[in-house]
Structure 1
């Protein structure tokens, strides 16, 4: 994967996000997409070394399309300005589809790498299963929150969109009530990849995903994610 070429393409796309420009630059996109697919294939192999459940994930299924869904948003730009992938055992791209925890990352035209592990906006039944698991396994969840590897790379669980009040049916005095209010169960971070090559990015992602594997494993144990 030629990182500099990819970043340049995505930067130019962000400046000229229209179909005419994309058609003219489609040959560049096809080459970069093929290289990105190879990169994700290698990343899956590396993740599988510490998380065997990922071994069966197909790289093609992990990649997101570059076309945006413009049906409901005010932004009618036709294309995403990043290359991204979400790696799950069952091939579903989104934890919100009920697929359980994912290893997600994206590269953009500003030379930034964003990566995350966990479940973003899981459906209501899945969210309840996670909350029930916190109640059923408070000691295990406490250990997870204190995990040194996770905290060093990602910090704490993200609390965007957190409920103001305790969710219905859960004790307001529970020791983990603040986590029970969460709508997302994930950690994320980002960094600059300026001057880096694909091997260096692969190392960053592998190390980061490995550090957060305990979160993925705990979430999978919350309920059947199939």
Structure 2
């Protein structure tokens, strides 16, 4: 064990220096240590038993990921993740698309259909456009972008409502959980045919949602949605 002790003693010395520098924020708190070596765990517990309570998680990598989600940080060992929920935004869909969707009922269509005063076509309100479905894999830094245009001549601003669902592509927002919203006024030169863009940035410990409007001026605003730690 002496060979291991040479390495471990150096680790403990370095850790001790770090803890002493941060004494004011450590006092009275439990410490979570990412250690897989049972012998190192034993040595640390013996060394600090009179001063700190060390909590060594049974699944250190999982605990580290959960900690990263709280901070938020992107651990180097995470290259992709499986999304537990479906994420999307509120939208008004063309009636033909709504009618072809298995989860958009005729009652919903009858209640929320309207004629758009821009193109005189029929659309259905209270629908959901999906950016990623539950159980899909997303890579770190992956970006998904959709383009949109005004839904009415009277519209003065982009108003993006962000939702989450436990279903795959639920079609409507009725049973979805609302996570946040972004509101951006249209530039003065934005006309009825112009497009704006909604982007979802997936695969990090947070989901970033942005709205971009391009014209003579460029506007980008952002809403961050933290992954809930128990869902990782």
TM-score, structure 1 length as denominator?
A: 0.26
Structure with greater Cα Rg? 2
Pick 1 or 2: higher relative contact order, CA cutoff 8 A, min separation 6: 1
Give the TM-score, by structure 2 length: 0.26
Q: Which one has a larger percent helix, Structure 1 or Structure 2?
A: 1
